[in-house]
Every structure is written in structure tokens, then in C-alpha cells.
Chain A
């Protein structure tokens, strides 16, 4: 019987597995012998960048991960936080960049499927999906094809499983031309005392496989995600997995049904590196060994080799350790949901991962060596040189600049995208996409979760430390702007090749800034994912540490939205505007330049201004609020007017040149609107508290006017530009298929 182990291990084969000669020798040392073919495959995926975090681990350890409300930080399938009343929110964000570039529909769809599994594995019912997407420049021949496919894939999966996709972000930049980013996030809810973990226990206990059958799809997906792209990457199309959201829906229901009993000791989804990483993870966390009989693995294809079964990334599969004697009850649940259920092994006290096939041992590896002996690199880096403050020129036609920005690729309405996502299913979406943060009620209560995904790669590129701070602060601000208290974040760290010193410098810098912001804002990191080697033919992406923030609000009836609520409201700016146009969207899109230092993030100010604004919302003084970010004050003002379908007239004074006042991206700022008397009250309270505050003007009419005509645009024109860009862009003839 062929086991695959007849194949000779050669230096070429080792190289094909993405292992260096030095790493191979490390394997030989750990095992005390040469690995066979099956074992080589298993080591190669466990030691891949994707699974071992070998370039990033050293720096990730420096991030703050603790707070009194953190139930589970990084290291499990997802992070868990206490949201009061005995309930917990469980969430994580993960990348599916490389597969989505090769096959956008399935790449994005399985990205959603994978992150959903990470969350319900822990006992949570998924209640919201989010995403962070980056595409190449709009005119690039592949952009529309990729965007259409990714959106279709995210919708195709999320809509079918019946978890609302409630928001996200989408941006365009030439650095993503050959390497798009598809980061998916899921948030779930569970009882705080019913969280499931992956640590296996109990020698002799059964190891159970449930879900879909195993096929040859996705073999070496984790290795692919750990290498740079080249022109022949599209030949890797067969390594992209195919998703089946229908099976996932059944799997969610079956797992949650079994979780309501006390049968499960440990559970883990089969994600990257499939059966290998799930079994190794469970055994390693529990300090036990696993013996698996691969003949028992449900298989979709004939004559699969051990190597293929262990490395397959077939979707919608889970591994569990059950209490002895509960197998029949568990089996009945999975049969009801028409899913495979197979006992494929048991726990041992050997500390080894032992694989049997056709009655023969085909692999036997110390679990410790697969996890703890994985190389850890403290890669050399050079910090990104600091930029000086830039003087950013004015343009003659400010009206045109505003229309170009608000109606351009980066600030236009994303309605074309989110209308393809079912964002209302489950009946608790109380703030739909398009606002600062998505808000989803905790089912059956008045409480709600606020969720936002953000990062500004322009800033991270110009100054990684500042950019890292800003990414964290912006999610915090967005969650604050709807009236929620930000609690914790997940992240998806997308960078280029860490073997390049400048890229590693970006990584280290961004993490430093993120860590500072998390500490200053009491906003720890509870889960995350690192995606390196986002390069094509040696050209890296902008550093993109996407942050997903989660907050909670006690009384969702007080929630704020960005839309002006009719005419006659007074508009107030909280926070001070400075001359900070370096690395701004105005500079990049209108002037076509990228120079100067990005806006500074003063975390102390961020916190004070944000806490002040949140209190206004919680006290019911304000129900209209928008944070200021890309495009500055005029972009936020336009959003509020467009969504509220009412004009606005403001004065920003003349301390700053008008283009600076309009487009500066100074941080820690919010616009709020309320009745005149309350606005005056707010002004006084802010003064007393030492919070910068300016009463800017009033809503009304059908134009957006600044400084009596410095900007003067019909709201209808602004709305047409804002809503029109994306549908017009997507309606063009495809340039490539």
C-alpha cells in the first residue's frame, strides 16, 4: 500500500516546502532522525510563517492584552471579553489575501467561513460579520474583477449562513494592484461561563471529526500564504479552497446544540493546515499526545495519502475531544444535521502526534517540537525615517476639490457593496452600514455592540508609529461616536516581506504605535492574525495593520448616527483643528502628492475628547455625531448632510487657510449636532472641562456652505457625486475577467 513515504526527501523537496536548509536541520535535530514525506509536510505547515508567526512572535509579545474585562486574550481561536450581565463577546479578524487575489469569490467566501468557525468554536453564536478590503487603483485592469468577486464571495457566504455583514471598509491604492487585502471579522455572543477552549485532556478520550468530508483542496494553503507572489502564482488556483456556506450553517447549529450539553472537553476548527494544525494545537495546549487513525477520516476522494489528508484545507470541518460515553448522543445531533461524524483517534500520554494508515504508523512526531521548536526570528529592521511637516498647497477651486473627494474612490458611498450583503438578518442590526460603527443589539436586551474596522495605510507608510496609534484610535473614536464604550480590539497585520529591513521596520513601528494606543485607551488586543509576504514581484503593499474594535452600549435607544436630524440644528466641533495636511487624502488625491508627517495622535487628548462626546450621547444631549477622519471636516460635514438630506451652513473662521480648515486630518475631533439650547450647554460644559469646542453653524437649506461661500455646493450635487462613483465605476465594461 502506498503511503507517500516512499518519496525520497531531497534538498529540492525541502525547498519546495518553503523550508530553509537550516530549518530542515532543526527538524532533524528535534526528531533525532530524518523526517519521512508525511512528517516533512506536517513540519512545513506548522513552521510556516502563517502558523508559527516566526517573524512576528517576538514583537507581538509586546502588545497589551489584559484588562479586567478580558476573559481570553490571544492564543485561542478568538478573543473573549465580558460585556456584563453574564454575557461575553467573542471576536477575531483574519486575512484571506492571497487566495482572494487568485480566486476572488472562493477566496473571500472561505475567509468569511474560516473566521466564523474561529468564533463559534468557542461557543458563541456569530451575530455580526465585518470586513476590511483593499484593492489596487481603480484603473488597474484587475480591480473591478477582484472587487466584484470579493464582494460576491463575502455576500455569498455570509448571506447563506444568515449572519449579517454589518460594515467594514474598502479602499484603493496602487500598492495593492498585485496583492489585494481581504480581512474578515466575526463577532459572536455567548454566556460568559459557557466558553469552549481547545486544550485536549483525558488519556483515552475520543478524538472526533465532524463536518464536511476531506478532499484534496487547499493543500499547502498556509505555505502559499507565507510566500511572495510571482507571475505564476495564478497557477496555484487549485490550492484555493471551495466554501460551502450551507454546510457551515448546519455546522454552527449542530455545534451549538452539542455545546448546550456537557459532552465537549475541547473543540477546535480546522483552519489553515487543517487536521494538522487543529490536532497539534489541541494536543499541545493540553500537554497530551494524539493518535489518529487516518483510515477513519471521512474522505471525499479516493486513494488520498496521509500527507494529503493531514494538509488538506477542506472547509467546514471541526475536531473535538468528547467525554467518554457521550459519542452516541453527539453522533445523533450531527446526524440530525446531516453532517459527517467520525471517531478518528484518541488521546495518548506519549506527547506525540502518531498517525496510522492501513494499520501502519506513517508519522510520529513530538508535539512539542512542532510547536515550541518552530524557529523564531528577530529579523533585522531599519526604522522608517521621520518625515518633516509639509506645507500643502491650496487649490483654486475648493468646490471642485470637495466634490472630487466626497465623490471619489476613497470617500464615496459603499452602498453598491453593502447592499449585496444581508446586513439585517437576525433582526438586531440597529445601525446599518454607512455610519461610524455598526451597531448590533444583544438579542433580547437593550444593550448593543458597536463594531468598527479601521486603518489609514497612508499614515502607516509615512510614519508607522503614528499610523499604528491612529489605526487603534480611529476604531476607538468610531465606537465612541455612536455612543458606545470601546472595550477591546482584534487585528489583522498585513505587511510585505519581513526579510526586508525596511518592511520589518514598518512592522515594528506600527506595533509600537498600536501598543501605545491600546495602553493609553485601556483598549487591549484580544486576538489577531499576521499576514506577511504581501508582495508581488518584489513590490510590497502599504503597511496595513487593520484594527477591528468592539464596544458596548448599555442603552441602545440613545445611539447616535451621522445623519443630521432636520433643519435648525446647531453644529458643534469638539476638538481643535491644526495645520495637518501631511499624508492627507486631500494631498494624495487632489494634489497627487504624498509627503510630510501625518497628523499626530495625542492619545491623552483623544481620550478626553472622546469621553466627553460619549457622555453627551449617553446623557441624551446629542443623537447626531460623526468622527473626523479621511478628508477632514468637510468630508464629515458632507456625510452628515447627505445622510440627513438637509443642507448646512458653517463658519470655520480664518485662523487657518480655508483649505487647511476644511481638509486637515487632525485627530481627536468630532462633529455633533443638536438643538441650539443644548448646543450652548455643551459649549459651556466643554469650556469648563478644558475641551476645545467651536460652534460652527446650523443645518438647513439645500446647500453645503462654508464661510459664507468659500465652499458652496448644492446638496443634490454632492449626494449625486457621493452615491454615483461606485455604481458608475462598477458598471463599466470589465477590462479583464
Chain B
């Protein structure tokens, strides 16, 4: 599986994502700088965590309007699996590829800790190797992870299986404890927790691996 990691000024989990992808898929990902207009054909696109453009203006707002995102949007719409973690999730909502927005955490503090989540949808290309309702532990590290959408959108997300992960308990004020969502076609996933940080016991666990393995299985 050939993947690309998009790097914005201020991305800081790009290396973590690249390490995880290489460890799990066996192939070094392509690192793509935000000023590019195009990049090689890949099977999987990752938008890493960090503070792109310093989170100034609004988290993800400026990155969503960068050159490279025009290309990413085109490919995501054409069905290429596209995965945003933390700041990557914020960018995906800013582009409109995913609905809703990530607001400041309800308690106004940055939060970095392991959180328990349930896998809500095990049919998607990102979650198929998890068991239905499986409780997994993945760390979060964010200041703006409080997912918000209007109630119609939330009902639709839940009704159509677009909620991929929910926090087992409230950690940031997110509506319906939503931790990660899919687009309608199921090829775009955005989530606040960092599965790339949970890929070996030395880091506290391996619950993040199955996410990448699911995509590999699907792509064959």
C-alpha cells in the first residue's frame, strides 16, 4: 500500500504518521509539501496532526485552502481513502469533506491522555478489523476537539453509520461523544484521537494498528 502524508507548515505529527505507516504497511510514505499542486498516485492519503499555520485564524482553516488540498479534495471525491487525525480532522471539516466543526474543548484546556473509545461502525474500510462495539484505547492531544454539528446532521451521521468512533466518556464536550466520523461514501475518515501513537506496547498499546490494517486489507 503506497501512501502519502501531507505536510503543512506547523504539522508536527507528520513524522509519527510516517513511522506508523512504514512500520505497518512496510512501505515508506511519500511526504508531500503543502505548496505542491500534484503528487504521485497513492492508495492512501493521510493528513497528520499538529498546528498547521499555528492554528491561527481557526484550526485547519488556512490549510484547507492551500494548493495541495485542492488536489487532495479531488482525489478524496474520486474515492481515494483519505484519513485526517486531530489537525487533519479539523482540516477535513474546514474543506467540507466532512460535516461539522471542531470547537475549543469544553473545559478550555488542552488535553493529552489515553481515552477509551467504542468502535461504532465496523463495516468501513478503516475499521473492519475491529470487533463490533469493541472498546479500544487511543490517546488524544488537542485543544479543539469538541465536535459540533446541528442535530439533523448528527442524526444523519448516526443513522447512516457515519460515526466511526465514540468516546466512552465525555472528554471535550463533543456532541454525542463523537470522536471520529466518515463521509457518506466511507472513504474519508476524520478523528481526534491519534491511532498512530498506539502501535506498539512500548508506547502504551497497539489498538491503533487495526485501523491501518483494515485499510490494507481492503486495498488488498
Contact = CB atoms under 8 A, between A and B. Distances in A.
Interface of A: 152, 155-156, 159-162, 244-247, 249-250, 336-338, 418-427, 429-430, 432, 441, 556-557
Nearest to A250: B9
Which of A156, A162, A337 counts the most chain B CB atoms within 10 A?
Answer: A162
Contacts of A421: 110, 112
B19 A246 contact: no
A419 B16 contact: no
Given A160-B10, A244-B54, A423 B112 contact: yes
A425 B51 CA distance: 12
Contact of A337 (B9, B139, B197): B9
A155 B110 contact: yes
Contacts of B51: 159-160, 162, 245-246, 249
B9 A162 contact: no
A426 B10 contact: no
Contacts of B53: 246
B56 A246 contact: yes
A419 B12 contact: no
B57 to A, nearest CB: 12
B67 interface: no
A160 B16 contact: no
Interface of B: 9-10, 12-13, 15-16, 19-20, 35, 49-51, 53-56, 109-113, 139, 141, 143, 194, 196-197, 202-204
B110 A420 contact: yes
Contacts of B110: 152, 155-156, 159, 420-422
Contacts of B49: 425
A557 B35 CA distance: 41
A422 B53 CA distance: 18
B13 A425 contact: yes
Nearest to B194: A424
A419 B109 CA distance: 9
Contacts of B12: 160-162, 249, 425
Contact of B197 (A418, A419, A427, A557): A427
A430 B201 CA distance: 9
Which of A244, A338, A422 counts the most chain B CB atoms within 10 A?
Answer: A422
Contacts of A244: 54
B35 to A, nearest CB: 8
Contacts of B202: 430, 441, 556-557
Contacts of A424: 112, 139, 141, 194, 197, 203
Contacts of B204: 432
A675 B13 CA distance: 40
Contacts of A246: 9-10, 51, 53-56
Nearest to A247: B54
A246 B111 CA distance: 19
B113 A419 contact: yes
B50 A162 contact: yes
A236 B56 CA distance: 27
29 contacts: A152-B109, A152-B110, A155-B110, A159-B112, A160-B12, A160-B55, A162-B12, A246-B54, A246-B55, A249-B9, A249-B10, A249-B12, A250-B9, A250-B10, A337-B9, A419-B109, A419-B111, A419-B112, A419-B113, A420-B109, A420-B112, A422-B141, A424-B203, A425-B16, A425-B49, A426-B15, A427-B15, A427-B203, A557-B202
A246 to B, nearest CB: 3
Which of B12, B13, B50, B109 counts the most chain A CB atoms within 10 A?
Answer: B12
A712 B15 CA distance: 49
Given A155-B110, A161-B12, 8 more contacts: A246-B55, A420-B109, A420-B111, A420-B112, A422-B141, A424-B139, A441-B202, A557-B202
Contacts of A338: 9
Nearest to A125: B15
Contact of A429 (B35, B50, B203): B203
Nearest to B52: A246
B10 A430 contact: no
A264 to B, nearest CB: 22
Contacts of A432: 204
Nearest 5 Cβ contacts at the A-B interface: A162-B12, A246-B54, A427-B16, A160-B51, A422-B141
A285 B139 CA distance: 46
Given A162-B12, A556-B202, A427 B113 contact: no
Which of A246, A336, A429, A430 counts the most chain B CB atoms within 10 A?
Answer: A246
B19 A427 contact: yes
